[in-house]
Structures are given as structure tokens and as C-alpha cells.
Structure 1
Amino acid sequence: MGSKAQVRGHAGHGHSHGHGDNAFLTSTDKNDAAVRITRIGLYVNLGMAVVKGIGGYVFHSQALSADAIHSLTDMVSDFMTLATVALALKPPTAQFPSGYGKVESLGSLGVSSILLVGGVLMGWSAALELAHIYLPAVADALEWIGLAGHSHGHDHQIPNIQAAWLAGGSIFVKEWLYRATMKIAKERKSSVLESNAVHHRVDSLTSIAALVSIACSNIFPAFQGLDSLGGLLITWLVVRTGWDNTKTALYELADAGMDDEVKEKINKAASRALEGMGMPPNVKVHSVQGIKAGQNYMVDVEISVPGHWTVDQTGNIEDAVRINIGEKVRGARRVKVRFVGEDQEKDYMSEFISPSVSARSSPEPEDEHDHDHHHHDGHSSGHSHTNGNANKRG
């Protein structure tokens, strides 16, 4: 009965959360919005990395060259996003009975970690640049202990103003990618797509910093540290964003509970299912819990029913509740329904075994391993005991 209801529940999801989602999110499907926007971002990052790299070399712009390297790191982010989105919606298996949603959480952790580490490295590079300009003794000391590369004279060449056009174009393209990717991420409630969208926003901000530094370096050539100061400001934003996304991914991996907004939607969907069946007022939703795994929600719903009801009576309710939640709540991948007596004050903590009850403290500690071990030890001791009795009787 449970598996049948689950299939019916998934069928109500359309393309969002059914078993067919995996087909829509593979690299061969060009029509799925999540795959399409990720591919566009991938191609744009590749093109920008090449164009900015060439432009940085031709126009002598260190900011543009650094931005090109940043675009290359985003390509890694796009590959991880595409791979995890496709894997996360694979149907559950015996090895992964809760599905593959946590694969996307791992992907989100990887993407946000790249952002975090990249921000730290950008900040370190900007700080070294300022040290070479204003604190050469400190820079020399860092070089001596191996924490900084050699400056090679640190020639501060003013970048060509033409480099500003490349930085300006990058701002508009990346801002569009951010908005398009974030829209899909909100619709799918996908943390890895959201991390990727934030990557695009940070790229547009770093391009702004590059544009300002290129322009100001030409307007105020004597102010050599402007580019590095702007880099430090952007670094703070990158690191903060990377840490926020990393923390969110870690919470998902640690099975943190769902948002109250999602719980409310589930409660409403379950309650309407009960109303649609004409249930009496004492049959109602007792509580809602669950965890988020990538785009998927693993939902647990408790429903209060009269204590004398039979399994057949509750079975019909279970089917209706599961199907309605599947149709109304985007991301509900698995729905477990538990029934409690209307006069019982139980919650989900009652499912956990008390610390005072364990195999070690049980009055019957013999599990299979202990039984075999005891039987093996008792075999030799049994011979000794029998022989002892025989000696007494003799």
C-alpha cells in the first residue's frame, strides 16, 4: 500500500518531483530550465575566462587577469551544479532508501567552499599588493618565509582604459545570469542552484571592482593601491557569502529541520486532505516534521485519530494525505504518515530510544553475536561442569 501511494503521489508532481525528473535533468535534455541556465552559465564563464585573460594580457590589467582566473573557478562550479542536480533526483534504491538528495547538498557545499576559499585567496593577494606598496619590509619578510611570491620589482603599470569595456560588459552579463539562475533556484528550492546564482552575483561585483580600479587607475595614476583596496572590500563580500552558503549546506547535511514556511504548507495540504474525506474534527494533523535533502523534502506527518480505529480506516487517510502533500508542496519526495490516539500526548521524540534503554543495559543482552560467543565459551565450560558432576556422583 505504501509504495503504491508513493507512486501516485509522485505522479501528481508533473515534471518537478516525479521519477521522471532524472530524465529531465540529465545532460542530454536541453529543455529543462535548471540544466539550460547552468549550461548557459558554463559557456559564458568559458568565454569570459578567455576574453578577460586575453584582455588582461593585452591591456596590462592585473584586475582583469584576476577576474579571468575567477571565471575559470566558476566553470568548476557549473560542472558540479549540473552533476549534482542530475543525481539528486534519482529514485531511491535499496542502498539509498531516502534517495540521493544529499548529493546535491554535498554539491552545494563544494560550490560554496570554492567561493569561500577563492575569496580568502583574493583577499590575501590584495593584502600582499598593499604590503608591497606601503609596507615593503613586511612584504619582504613574507616572501622570505615563503608566504608570498617574489615581487620581481613590482612594476605597477597603468592598465589600458579599453579594459574597462570588458569589465563593464561582464557586469551586465553576470547580473542577468544571477537573476535567471536565482529565479529557477527559488522555484526548485535548490540550494546548489542558489549557490551558483550567488556566484554570478559575486562575479558581477568583482567586475565592478575591476571596472572602478581600471578607470581610477587612469584618472588617478598616483594612487597605486586603489585596485587592492577595492579587492579587499569585494573579498569581504565573497567570504561572507561563501560562509553563509557553506553553513546552509552543512545544516542540510546534518539533517536540520525544515523551515516553518514549508511545515505550514505541509500542514495545510494534509488538513485539506482530511477535510476532503469528510473526517470528523477530532481527526486532525497533530504535528509536522521533516528534513531537507537537496531539492527534496523527507516529510513526517502525525495525525490524531480515535483510538478504536482500525488499520484499514487509517490506510485510506494515509493515501489521501500523501497524495495531496505531493501535489501541493513542491519538493515533497517522501511522506511518512504516523497515527496517534487523539488523547495521547506524543511527539516525534517518542520515536527515539531513551539513553537509559540500550543493548548494554538490557536484562536480555544476548544478541546474535553475544549468543554465539556465549555458546562457544559455554561449550568448554559445560564439559567441565558435566565432568565435575560425574566425579561427584562417582
Structure 2
Amino acid sequence: MADPIAPFTGGVDRGPEEVVKVVRQVTLAGLAINLALSAVKFAAGILGNSQAVVADAVHSLSDTATDVAVLVGVKFWSKPPDGCHPHGHQRIEFLVTIFIGLLLAAVALGLVYNALVTLQVPHRSPPGLIAFFAALLSIFSKELLYRWTISVGREIKSTALIANAWHHRSDGLSSVPTAAAVAGAALVPGLAFLDHLGAIVVSMFILQAAWKIVRPSVEQLVDRGAPEEICRGIEQLAATTPGVRAVHAIRTRHIGSGIEVDLHVLVDPEISVEEGHRISEEVERRLVEYVSDVVDVVVHLEPYNAEERRWR
């Protein structure tokens, strides 16, 4: 499975109001689909006597909670900077992303527990084919919803929307072993236990997706720096700026989907303050324009001393 929350390497910069509008449109559509799928799978699971499909319905229902979390959260993380939050509110998006991942993990653990404690309970009758067709419907509809949501999330650089997209895909993936287990149990009544095992396999998929969703957001909340290749690009671009003699003490951190850079630039000590200021502005302009996702740069000017540099 690909990494759910990969570093952004593109996307389109949109205004806050447009971002909120797009997130709401995509998430409301997902909410409607999740509610419909949950109802269909609950009914099919009960009528078709399938624990795996009922578990799958619970997973779809959990998607509605994450949809609501995104709808509420986008109002806050899209707010502009203010006196109390001079860097903006974008990190609220990380909190929403972590909430989605933890909710996924909780659902998965609940499904595992239920499958294990009922493993020895005999089925009154084998699962019916209605449950199998409900699982197939979930696979195709959630894959389409995943593809749409993640493409929009990457376009507007939203970690929460991408996390929600992977929640959609985990629901679709979970329906694959569900469909296989239901089909096996329906065709061979003596294999009814496959329905329980299918629910457990579903949960493993969900747990894996939850871990991959939560980990990057936690790392970014505790100020993990940008990837090494981005830091190398920052250093190279800053060092080749006209007037810059050397660069050091580069620090990066994530601010929402963007990257904030703090670095020290060494210039000739004889130049004027005005010239030094011009050089620092050019470093900032180049980094924001040419390095992926850099949104803010703080440049510290230092005098370049050739003798000191030689003995370092």
C-alpha cells in the first residue's frame, strides 16, 4: 500500500475561501455516499446473516464521523493569522488528521474483538449472496470516492482531505476480504468461520491505514524537519544566490501543508545594510518560488570571515 500522507510535491495554491468551498463540496458528497453505503451494508449484513458485512457497515459509518470532523475542522484551520496565532491556524488540520487515524484504529480494534469473541458461535445459516453483492458495491463505490477525494486533496495540499480519502479506500479494501469470506462461507456452509476471519482481516487493513495516517501528522506537530532532499535543495539554492558567500544553520518545520525555513546567510562584511537586506530578500524570493511547499523564510545575515571559515 502506498504511503497515505506523502510529502507534497505540487498542487495548486488557492485562497482560503476557495479551499473551504472545495473541501466542503468533496466531503459532503462523501458523507452522503457513506450514509447510503452504511444503510445498504447493515441491511445486507443482517438479511444475509454476515458478521463481516455488518462490520464493514460499521467501518462505513465511521467514515461519516471523519467527514464531519473535516467539515468542522476546515472552518478553523483556514482562518488567517491573528494576534494569538501569528503563524496561522493550519496545524489544526494535523489534529483533525490524527483524530481520523485514531478513530480508524478504534474501529479496527472493536471489530477484531467482536470477531474473536464470536468465533466459536455457530451461524444459524450460512451468509447469503445479498451480503456478497453489498460488499462488491462497497468496493467499487469507495474506490471511486477515494480517487476523487485524494486528487482534490493533493491539488489543494490538504492532509486532512487526503487522510479522509484513505479512510474511504480502507473501507473499500476492507470489503475485498469481506466479499471473499462471504462467498466462501455461502458456497461451503462448513466454512462459515471465514466470515469471522474476514472481519479480522478487514481490521488489519484499517489498522495499517490508521498508523500511516497518524504518524506523519504527529511528526509534524512535534516540528520534525522537512525531508533531506528538500533541505539540500534549500541549501543549494540559497548558496548560489548572488552575494551569498556561505549558508549554514538551516532549520525547517511544517506549518500546515507548507514549510517554514530559518537559515543563516553569510555575506561580505564590507557591504551596506541596504545591500545585505536586498540579498536576504532575494534568498527568500528564490526559496519560496523554486522550492516545493516553502511558504515562509527567515534569513539571518552574518559577516563572512574567510579565515574563520578556513579553520572550521
TM-score (norm 2): 0.85
Alpha-carbon offset, residue 215 of structure 1: 0.8
Select the residue among 213, 220, 244 that pairs with 1:245: 213
Alignment size in residue pairs? 298
What residue is the counterpart of 1:326 in the other structure? Answer: 288
What residue is the counterpart of 2:274 in the other structure? Answer: 312
Report Cα offsets for 1:11-39 as digits up to 9, x if no partner: xx99616xxx221122xx3xx3x444333
Q: Which amino acid letter does the alignment assign opposite residue 75 of structure 1?
A: T
Unaligned 5+ runs, structure 2: 1-9
CA distance in 2, matches of 1:270, 1:320: 9
CA distance in 2, matches of 1:165, 1:265: 51
* Contact 2:27/2:67 (8 A) holds in 1: yes
Q: Which amino acid letter does the alignment assign opposite residue 259 of structure 1?
A: P
Report Cα offsets for 1:246-274 as digits up to 9, x if no partner: 222211111111112332444455456x2
* Contact 2:223/2:253 (8 A) holds in 1: yes
Q: 1:271 to 1:173 in 2, by over 3 A?
A: farther
* Contact 1:156/1:224 (8 A) holds in 2: no
CA distance in 1, matches of 2:203, 2:111: 6
Report Cα offsets for 1:62-114 as digits up to 9, x if no partner: 32222222111111111222333443232211101121121011111101101
Q: Sequence identity, in percent? A: 28
What residue is the counterpart of 1:123 in the other structure? Answer: 112
Select the residue among 251, 255, 258 that pairs with 1:296: 258
Kindly indicate whether residue 17 of structure 2 is the aligned counterpart of residue 23 of structure 1.
Answer: yes
Kindly indicate whether residue 307 of structure 2 is the aligned counterpart of residue 339 of structure 1.
Answer: no
Alpha-carbon offset, residue 232 of structure 1: 1.9
What residue is the counterpart of 1:233 in the other structure? Answer: 201
Which residues of 2 match residues 86-235 of structure 1 at below 5 A? 86-130=75-119, 132-133=120-121, 155-235=123-203
Alpha-carbon offset, residue 299 of structure 1: 1.7
Q: 1:310 to 1:86 in 2, by over 3 A?
A: farther
Kindly indicate whether residue 60 of structure 2 is the aligned counterpart of residue 71 of structure 1.
Answer: yes
CA distance in 2, matches of 1:268, 1:37: 39
Kindly indicate whether residue 4 of structure 2 is the aligned counterpart of residue 42 of structure 1.
Answer: no
Q: 1:57 to 1:110 in 2, by over 3 A?
A: same
Alpha-carbon offset, residue 228 of structure 1: 1.4
Q: 1:42 to 1:267 in 2, by over 3 A?
A: farther
Kindly indicate whether residue 46 of structure 2 is the aligned counterpart of residue 57 of structure 1.
Answer: yes
Alpha-carbon offset, residue 171 of structure 1: 0.5
Alpha-carbon offset, residue 203 of structure 1: 0.6
Report Cα offsets for 1:261-317 as digits up to 9, x if no partner: 332444455456x2xxxx24x535435321113213222132221123333112222
Largest Rg, 1 or 2: 1
* Contact 2:11/2:154 (8 A) holds in 1: no
User: SS state of the match for residue 189, structure 2?
Assistant: coil
User: SS state of the match for residue 300, structure 1?
Assistant: strand
Kindly indicate whether residue 72 of structure 2 is the aligned counterpart of residue 83 of structure 1.
Answer: yes
Q: Which amino acid letter does the alignment assign opposite residue 76 of structure 1?
A: A
CA distance in 2, matches of 1:235, 1:116: 8
What residue is the counterpart of 2:4 in the other structure? Answer: none
CA distance in 2, matches of 1:81, 1:309: 51
Q: Which amino acid letter does the alignment assign opposite residue 50 of structure 2?
A: S
